[in-house]
Amino acid sequence: MNDFLKTRDGKPVFAAGLQSHNSSTGTWLIEKTMDAIAQYHGNTMEAPVYWFRLEPEQDVYDMSLVQGLVDQARSRGLYLIILWFGANKNGHPNYAPEYIKLHPETYRIAISADGSPAPSISPHCMELLERDKKAFTKFISFLKEYDTEGTVLAVQIENEFGYGQTDRDYSELAEADFEKGVPEELLGTEIEDCGALTHDGTWYGEFGIHAHEVFSSWYTARFVEELAKAGKEILPITYTVNIAIGESGIEMPGFSYNAGAGVGRMLDVWKIAAPHLDLICPDIYLSGRRVYERICSRYDRPDNALFIPESATGGDANAMNMFLAAGKYGATGLFAFGAESTLDESGNLLPEARKVALSMKAITGLAPLLIKYRGTDRIHAFVQDEFTTEEYLKLPKYHVTAQFVKDNPRFNARSMFLNLRAPENQWLLKERGRGLLIQTGEDEFYLAGVGIGFDFRRRSEAGDPKAYVHQGSRQSTQLNFLTVEEGHFEGNTFVRDAWRNGDETNYLAYSYEGTVVRIRLNPNTGMDLK
């Protein structure tokens, strides 16, 4: 099972942070990217390298851009995920060298259904594949020799690969591949809503109305597979692709999204076509809870851990939804795109960026536990729906109620170190609540969140003749604790920064601004005393 990215010595990493803008590598903006990552409490930078810069002339290679990027990330103690902007960037060959662009008769671009040239390279062109692969392997070989400390966790191959403005390539080159029929490996693959099928080995007979999309996906994925396989033979780290998601609009390839991409409907095709590819990752900018969860559930599979390489840097939606990704769908990586745009001229977070930054702080604060308990029933995500002030969770031993700060007249918790009456902190009281609760023992919990507090009440034991009385006793609540502590993790060890007691524990165990809180409840309620 693919799960977390790993260091060279096999240590799992919950990767989180920001991605730079497309043209930032090699400029002063990368420093600004890393400044922003620090304020988002991230541990990893995503940034591109460009084929046309690595190969400024045919067969002349320059790795200074890669070296500089590795050095910059290492200087800040950050991990690095490098994005290979090669033959395809969002469906277009923008980052290909000039000698590629100037010779479409050799390095073929796709042809649309109407016969016009499409603004996309053709994955059917072996000459193009070989040039891209040659530059890619030069780049990976340099990483192997230079990045001996393991700053680079992963390499993303291309960017949102696929065709723009057409559902497939209609060139003579592609038509010849179409006439060959369906590869044996794909026979029997089920695609939803194909219509009536003849199963005669042709693309139409096997996949009906989705014939063109499956055809495009197969050859696009095979192109990527060649790079992933070659890369792994040199440097066996994680290789990924990112996807412009297909779960939007009428879900038509070439119209709603790039045709040939590894969208949810095509995941099985991509998994068969590209076995050396570790992760197929959705870029999620959609805000609606329903569609967000639909995307997460599709990419969270036994053979593909959910990893989100791009999302919004600000706004309520992503600030809330990322808790669902991490807590409900076991996301192993969370990133937002456009790091430099989150800071003002003084280097401070813009107000609209603070929401997602706080969410990332809370989630990364619990990273060691997210790694340890992924795939278990120990991790619980809470997000405040509209008109909701609380949410209930029933555990085997405890009733747990999450109380949200926003619009909740019952919320009266106090904060030790945060003056909530100060004008600069008033916005926290208006934040829609969200958080993670992780149970690490029968009576031990860790929480982190924004504008959220938790009430724990011991459930009555079976056969208790005084169940009603005991449930009403405050001795059944978190007031009967052993310790409540604020702190942080250093490696896998929780380090206490402060004790909580008195007013700070009388009502709820709370987290306003991403603080990690450890709660050890008393297993002895004293209810059997006479």
Domains, the chain, ranges and CATH? 5-172+215-365 (3.20.20.80), 383-521 (2.60.220.20)
The amino acid present at 317, given as its one-letter code, is A
Determine the Cα–Cα distance for residues 505 and 500; give it in Å rounded to an integer: 6
Cβ-based neighbours of 355, under 8 Å, separated by 6 or more: 314, 315, 316, 318, 319, 431, 450
pLDDT at 412 over 50: yes
Residue 472 confidence class, pLDDT cut points 50, 70, 90: confident
Report residue 149 CA to chain centroid gap.
Answer: 24
Question: Is pLDDT at 509 greater than 70 in this prediction?
Answer: yes
Q: What pLDDT was estimated at residue 353? A: 97
Following DSSP, what letter does each residue of 444-507 receive, concatenated?
A: EEEEEEEEEEEEEEEPPPTT-TTHHHHHHSGGGBTTSEEEEEEEEEETTEEEEEEEE-GGGTSS
User: Cα(80)–Cα(17) distance, rounded to whole angstroms?
Assistant: 10
- Output DSSP code: residue 171: S
pLDDT greater than 90 at residue 240:
yes
CA 179 – CA 202 distance, rounded (Å): 8
pTM score over 0.75: yes
Mean pLDDT of 359-372: 98
CA–CA distance, 355 with 428 (Å, rounded to integer): 9
Question: What is the average pLDDT across 446-462?
Answer: 90
447 CB-contact burial (10 Å; exposed 0-12 / middle 13-18 / buried 19+): buried
- Given a contact cutoff of 8 angstroms between Cβ atoms, the answer to whether 243 and 283 are in contact is yes
Contact 161, 260 (CB under 8 A): yes
Q: What is the spatial distance between Cα 244 and Cα 433, in angstroms, rounded to a whole number?
A: 29
- Kindly state the percentage of the chain with pLDDT values over 70: 97
* 416 has pLDDT over 80: no
Is 109's pLDDT higher than 70? yes
Query: Among 6-15, 17-26, 33-42, 456-465, which is the least confidently predicted range?
Result: 456-465
pLDDT grade, residue 1 (50/70/90)? very low
Distances (CA, A) of 10 to 6, 95, 110, 370: 5, 33, 41, 17
- The pLDDT tens digits for 161-204 are 999 889 999 999 999 999 999 999 999 999 988 888 999 999 99
Q: What is the per-residue pLDDT across 53-66, written as a single tens digit (0 to 9) for each?
A: 999 999 999 999 99
Among the ranges given (4-13, 303-312, 502-511), the one the predictor scored with the smallest mean pLDDT = 502-511
